[in-house]
């Protein structure tokens, strides 16, 4: 039974489970549609199987009719889901007096409750030899965290909650999920666009889905920001760049996705989209509060607008990839096309504004220099040269009118493209922006167009896209949110993980009533037995045994100095030392080189490769000679079976993780632990315990403990 507590814990920070906002209502509607889509897909699969299996004409006709109804229902559900995905207005900021141009946010992936308690309890008992009931609080804490990430708040606190859970998955994967013996814990996630369910036993799907939701949440934080103020624009720029970094990280570190929204092509398109929207915010910041009309300022804004247009053009190309074009809502593609035309028109408008309203007293040399940097290389002889336009007002007017005509052309293209999408026509604020910009260009052209102009207009030259702040993907900062291993009590992850087989714990009783026995301890967290004499061996002590407790005091996370002091304080009293043996790495094949549960191969080493690419190498290694040799990092991909929809896909290249780190600090900590292990193994305390007297002395820089046993 999955119930862990009788009362529900308070919501975690960053979680709003009962907040009834428009965004949460959309998310609930999306979840209901996902369930309906799943049901209709099962009906269609059954009807298709019956149609193919039968040869009776009447039955085939009846089934064909039923299939037409099911397909109609599926189409209606997909259209309804597409409308929800195209709903951008609930995510926009409406707190200010003025409203900014709409942006495209992403909805969160939905998931089902995770049934894991019974499986984890069995694993704690069978693999670690622990009492499952003593880990009730840890299991309840993880269950609460898993429930909280389903309803994160649309703030940075919600992002922190997801990051904390993502970091926790690193510990969880290493503790419980072995690539050779996967647990029967199934992770269910729905596609964010189509609602198609995916199910997998690998933590990779869980981690990838959490990363996707982090990127989606960043996009919602950015869209919600008040971009009528500088602080809000800065927040939007930062959040869009972080979203781009998340999607780019997801694209480069996860492969063979079980659902379309985690495919490389779609994640690449999302990265371009987030960077384009961040660049759009940079332009908004540049014109925020107004500016003085002069050629230098207008030329800079024109180049900035052209940069935005180019980035939306790249986004449009990524959306037009066959696998993406048939998947994303058409309203997204339409808005990207509209903005590409809109900002290209603004670029020409600001260029015309600077040329037509340039102050007469400006230096010709300065004007010539500005015009030479404004355009891409001009080869048309009919276009006035920069030095001529700098000297003659008539050439500047001719060039300015050409830019205005080009601006009007692209404004009309933007309005025409906007009218092609039914859903986009319902967004009044976007249409108002487009119409206002178009009317402004028409008014300016009518103002400067007089009958006295006898010159012919030329084709406006292409404006060179340039920006002082190019939007770039910000890599995810997993270490910015601290996360403590919930199951830390199990012991150091270097040994007490799913990647190593552990023997049964043994109790060694040391007394002062028998012959003395000697053994050497070394290392930190955990402390291991390096050497021992014949008497200690008869008591059951073995080389490479790990000390886990002294008189029921847990010492898995202690160093050898602490254990030395602890034993020395037990003078005259029996000491019960509990140890455990590492039998070797977990593998699909039987492990060789084991005699009576003891590793006999001197060179046996296990490199801890897991599905998220974090490799803790050399953590249980050649300890016969009391030394640890650092090994180079080894990367391997592990594939896990996954369910897509309701069918198991026996695929050879399954969804897997190829990332190096969940948090950059983890590998650094492991390196430090190895260095610490080598250092303390040669600087341990030495003392002799006999008849209740402790004599401390340095002897061969190792730790010998003797007791009359």
At residue 189, the 3 state secondary structure works out as strand
Q: Is the pLDDT of residue 664 over 50?
A: no
The pLDDT value recorded for residue 521 is 84
Query: 678: how many CB neighbours lie within 10 A of its CB?
Result: 16
CA–CA dist 454, 342 (Å, integer): 30
* 292-341 per-position pLDDT tens digit: 788 888 999 999 999 999 999 999 999 999 999 988 888 899 999 999 99
* 417-473 per-position pLDDT tens digit: 999 887 777 777 888 999 999 999 999 998 887 766 556 677 888 899 999 999 999
- Beta strand 197-200 pairing with 642-644: antiparallel
Confidence of residue 231 (pLDDT cuts 50, 70, 90): very high
> Of 147, 93, 91, whose CA–CA distance to 117 is shortest?
147
CA–CA dist 450, 91 (Å, integer): 46
CA–CA dist 435, 110 (Å, integer): 38
- Beta strand 575-580 pairing with 553-554: unpaired
Q: Which residue has the higher pLDDT, 59 or 619?
A: 59
The pLDDT value recorded for residue 181 is 79
CA–CA dist 628, 495 (Å, integer): 14
Q: Which residue has the higher pLDDT, 352 or 424?
A: 352
Length of the chain: 709
* 513-556 per-position pLDDT tens digit: 655 677 888 888 899 888 777 887 888 888 888 999 988 889 99
**DSSP tag of 625:** T
Name the token pair of 51.
């149609």
Is residue 510 within 8 Å of residue 577, measured between CB atoms?
Answer: yes
Backbone region of residue 411 per phi and psi (left: phi > 0; alpha: psi in -120 to 50; beta: other values) = alpha
Is residue 505 within 8 Å of residue 275, measured between CB atoms?
Answer: no
CA–CA dist 194, 74 (Å, integer): 11
- Backbone φ and ψ of 528, nearest 5°: -120, 160
Q: What is the pTM of this model?
A: 0.76
* 595-642 per-position pLDDT tens digit: 333 333 333 333 333 333 333 333 333 333 333 333 333 333 333 333
Name the token pair of 308.
């935005």
Cα dihedral 56, 62, 63, 68 sign: positive
- Side-chain half-sphere of 683: how many Cα atoms within 13 Å? 8
**Letter string b/e over residues 306-340, b meaning 16 or more CB atoms within 10 A of that residue's CB:** bbbbbbbbbbbebbeeeebeebbbbbbbbbbbbbb
Per-position DSSP letters for 371-424, written without gaps between them: HHHHBSPP--TTSPPHHHHHH-HHHHHHHHHHHHHHHHHHHHHHHHHHHT-HHH
Question: For a pLDDT cut of 90, what percent of the chain falls above it?
Answer: 35
* 365-388 per-position pLDDT tens digit: 777 777 888 887 766 666 777 777
Helix ranges (H only) for 288-329 are 295-319, 322-325
> Of 19, 27, 214, whose CA–CA distance to 107 is shortest?
27
Helix ranges (H only) for 449-588 are 534-539, 560-568
At residue 307, the 3 state secondary structure works out as helix
């Amino acid at each position: 039974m999955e119930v862990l507590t009788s009362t529900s814990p308070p919501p975690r920070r960053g979680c709003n489970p009962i907040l009834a906002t428009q965004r949460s209502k959309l998310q609930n509607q999306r979840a209901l549609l996902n369930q309906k889509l799943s049901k209709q897909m099962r009906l269609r699969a059954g009807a298709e199987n019956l149609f193919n299996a039968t040869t009776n004409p009447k039955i085939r006709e009846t089934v064909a009719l039923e299939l037409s109804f099911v397909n109609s229902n599926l189409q209606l559900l997909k259209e309804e889901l597409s409308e929800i995905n195209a709903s951008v207005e609930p995510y926009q900021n409406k707190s200010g007096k003025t409203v900014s141009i709409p942006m495209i946010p992403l909805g969160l992936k939905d998931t089902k409750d995770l049934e894991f308690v019974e499986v984890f309890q069995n694993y704690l008992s069978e693999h670690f030899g622990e009492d499952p009931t003593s880990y009730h609080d840890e299991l309840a804490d993880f269950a609460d965290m898993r429930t909280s990430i389903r309803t994160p708040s649309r703030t940075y606190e919600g992002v922190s909650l997801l990051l904390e859970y993502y970091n926790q998955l690193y510990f969880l994967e290493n503790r419980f999920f072995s690539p050779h013996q996967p647990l029967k814990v199934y992770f269910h996630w729905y596609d964010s666009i189509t609602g198609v369910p995916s199910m997998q036993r690998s933590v990779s799907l869980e981690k990838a889905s959490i990363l996707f939701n982090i990127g989606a949440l960043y996009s919602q934080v950015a869209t919600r920001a008040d971009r009528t103020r500088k602080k809000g624009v800065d927040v939007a720029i930062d959040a869009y760049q972080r979203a781009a970094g998340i999607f780019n990280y997801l694209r480069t570190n996860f492969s063979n996705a079980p659902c379309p929204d985690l495919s490389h092509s779609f994640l690449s398109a999302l990265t371009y989209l987030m960077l384009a929207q961040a660049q759009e915010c940079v332009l908004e910041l540049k014109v925020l509060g107004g500016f003085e009309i002069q050629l230098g300022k207008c030329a800079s804004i024109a180049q900035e607008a052209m940069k935005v247009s180019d980035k939306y053009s790249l986004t449009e190309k990524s959306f037009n990839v066959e696998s993406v074009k048939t998947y994303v809502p058409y309203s997204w593609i339409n808005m990207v096309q509209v903005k590409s035309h809109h900002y290209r028109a603004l670029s020409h408008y600001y260029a015309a504004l600077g040329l037509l309203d340039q102050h007469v007293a400006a230096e010709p040399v300065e004007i010539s220099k500005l015009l030479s940097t404004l355009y891409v290389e001009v080869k048309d002889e009919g276009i006035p040269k920069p030095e001529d336009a700098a000297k003659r007002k008539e050439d500047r007017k001719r060039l300015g009118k050409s830019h205005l005509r080009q601006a009007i052309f692209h404004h009309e293209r933007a309005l025409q493209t906007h009218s092609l999408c039914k859903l986009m026509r319902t967004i009044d604020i976007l249409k108002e922006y487009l119409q206002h910009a178009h009317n402004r260009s028409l008014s300016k052209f009518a103002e400067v167009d007089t009958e006295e102009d006898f010159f012919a207009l030329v084709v406006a030259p292409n404006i060179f896209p340039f920006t002082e702040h190019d939007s770039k993907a910000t890599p995810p900062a997993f270490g910015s949110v601290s996360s403590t291993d919930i199951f830390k009590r199990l012991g150091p992850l270097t040994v007490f993980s799913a990647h190593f087989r552990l023997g049964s714990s043994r109790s060694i009783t040391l007394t002062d009533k028998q012959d003395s026995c000697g053994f050497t301890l070394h290392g930190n967290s955990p402390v291991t037995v390096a050497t021992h004499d014949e008497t200690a061996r008869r008591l059951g002590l073995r080389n490479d045994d790990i000390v886990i407790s002294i008189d029921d005091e847990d010492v898995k996370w202690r160093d050898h100095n602490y254990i030395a002091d602890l034993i020395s304080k037990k003078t005259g009293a029996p000491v019960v030392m509990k140890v455990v043996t590492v039998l070797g790495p977990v593998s699909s094949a039987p492990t060789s080189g084991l005699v009576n549960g003891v590793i006999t191969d001197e060179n046996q080493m296990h490199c801890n490769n897991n599905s998220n690419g974090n490799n803790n190498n050399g953590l249980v290694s050649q300890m016969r000679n009391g030394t640890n040799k650092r090994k180079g990092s080894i990367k391997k991909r592990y594939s896990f079976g996954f369910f897509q929809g309701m069918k198991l896909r026996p695929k050879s290249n399954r969804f897997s993780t190829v990332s190096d780190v969940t948090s950059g600090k983890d590998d650094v900590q492991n390196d430090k632990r190895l260095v610490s292990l080598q250092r303390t193994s040669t600087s341990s305390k030495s003392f002799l315990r006999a008849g209740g007297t402790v004599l401390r002395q340095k002897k061969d820089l190792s730790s010998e403990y003797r007791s009359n046993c």
